[in-house]
């Protein structure tokens, strides 16, 4: 449970923003930032740095773009302690020129999210971040749908062509079980020799925390979590559980508990996230949670059998 190499990343605002189009109030984001810093968490991810040409600003909140003047308002007057700031770029939805030189920014690390098919774009963004003075990671999304030899080739490229701090196993669909986590971390370790392995899990089958533990056991040292599991669909590994499990004296869970009660729980009146049967079914069937998100917005939301039949029919699977 204790390894000095372990780094914890809070993704509450970034992943939670997928549940409300990144439309968090500034005061709420400041509250989260203050709590994460006080808790001694290594990194706090304040949103995306994606292209405004691909995401119309009128349809999304501030945290889909994380403009520098906005981030300055977040950090103003708050002691960061040892906590660093990160933002995410989607390989297929971001541009290199959206990233300033490091000495012009409060951001410390750029996390590049990619599918295997877009690995060349991800490598270009990672190299851009490194050249501008940032640390970076590469997060391979939808890993349950990726397989050899394409994944192997992507890992080899990332190892040879980037200076990323970590390469992530990202269970976008909440489909993985512990055996597959073990297999994937071991596969990454075959190719990734100069970087850490990271893990990011979704909670469709109530396994995000358990799978994070499995990743730790197998040697993953970059660990993602969110406050009370806030995130797209079924949400993520709860940060408070992760900090309690790690038992590292540098972490203080009390500021986390306070901000969950004051700033996260009230969001449940506006945003729905967490385990439900539709999300469970998309996880079991290894399908994108978007279908469940749409279903939960209808008046048939509790007709789980009908949802099962709809999604399996779309997959071409009979009862």
In this prediction the pTM is 0.97
Residue range 36-91, pLDDT digits in tens:
999 999 999 999 999 999 999 999 999 999 999 999 999 999 999 999 999 999 99
Q: Which of 31, 21, 27 is nearest to 256 (CA)?
A: 31
> pLDDT per residue over 283-301, tens digit each?
999 999 999 999 999 999 9
Q: Where are the domains of the chain?
A: 7-269, 277-315
Residue 1 has pLDDT above 70, yes or no: no
What integer pLDDT is reported at residue 138 of this predicted model? 98
Separation CA 317–CA 308 (nearest Å): 10
**How high is the pLDDT of residue 245?**
96
The CATH number of the structural domain formed by 7-269 is 3.20.20.70
pLDDT band (50, 70, 90) for residue 2: confident
CA distances from 242 to 49, 57, 64, 224, 239 (A): 26, 34, 26, 9, 5
Mean pLDDT of the chain: 97
Q: Give 162-165's long-range contacts (Cβ < 8 A, gap of 24+).
A: 162/123, 162/126, 162/127, 162/130, 162/136, 162/138, 163/126, 163/127, 163/130, 163/136, 164/126, 164/130, 164/136, 164/137, 164/138, 164/195, 165/109, 165/135, 165/136, 165/137, 165/195, 165/196, 165/222
pLDDT given at position 318: 60
Q: Taking a C-beta distance cutoff of 8 angstroms, is the pair 14, 47 a contact? A: yes
Give 106-148 pLDDT, tens digit per residue: 999 999 999 999 999 999 999 999 999 999 999 999 999 998 8
pLDDT score recorded for residue 316: 87
């Amino acid at each position: 449970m204790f390894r000095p190499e372990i780094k914890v990343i809070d993704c509450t605002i970034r992943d939670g923003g997928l549940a409300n189009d990144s439309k968090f109030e500034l005061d709420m984001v400041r509250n989260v930032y203050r709590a994460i810093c006080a808790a001694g968490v290594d990194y706090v991810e304040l949103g995306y740095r994606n292209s405004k040409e691909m995401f119309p600003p009128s349809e999304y909140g501030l945290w889909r773009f994380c403009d520098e003047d906005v981030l300055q308002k977040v950090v103003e007057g708050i002691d960061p302690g040892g906590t660093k700031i990160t933002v995410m770029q989607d390989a297929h939805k971001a541009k290199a020129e959206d990233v300033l030189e490091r000495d012009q920014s409060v951001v410390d690390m750029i996390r590049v999210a990619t599918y295997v098919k877009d690995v060349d774009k991800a490598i270009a963004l990672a190299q851009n971040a490194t050249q501008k003075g940032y640390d970076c990671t590469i997060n391979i999304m939808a890993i349950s749908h990726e397989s050899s030899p394409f994944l192997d080739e992507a890992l080899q490229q990332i190892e040879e062509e980037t200076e990323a701090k970590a390469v992530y196993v990202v269970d976008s669909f909440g489909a993985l079980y512990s055996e597959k986590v073990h297999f994937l971390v071991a596969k990454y370790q075959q190719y990734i020799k100069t970087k850490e392995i990271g893990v990011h899990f979704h909670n469709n089958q109530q396994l995000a925390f358990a799978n994070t533990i499995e990743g730790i056991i197998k040697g993953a040292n970059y660990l993602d979590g969110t406050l009370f599991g806030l995130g797209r669909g079924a949400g993520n590994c709860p940060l408070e559980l992760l900090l309690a499990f790690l038992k590292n004296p540098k972490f203080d869970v009390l500021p986390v508990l306070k901000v969950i009660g004051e700033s996260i729980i009230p969001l449940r009146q506006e945003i729905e996230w967490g385990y439900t049967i539709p999300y469970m079914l998309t996880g079991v069937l290894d399908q994108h949670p978007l279908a469940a998100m749409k279903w939960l917005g209808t008046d048939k939301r509790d007709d789980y059998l009908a949802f099962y039949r709809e999604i399996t029919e779309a997959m071409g699977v009979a009862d």
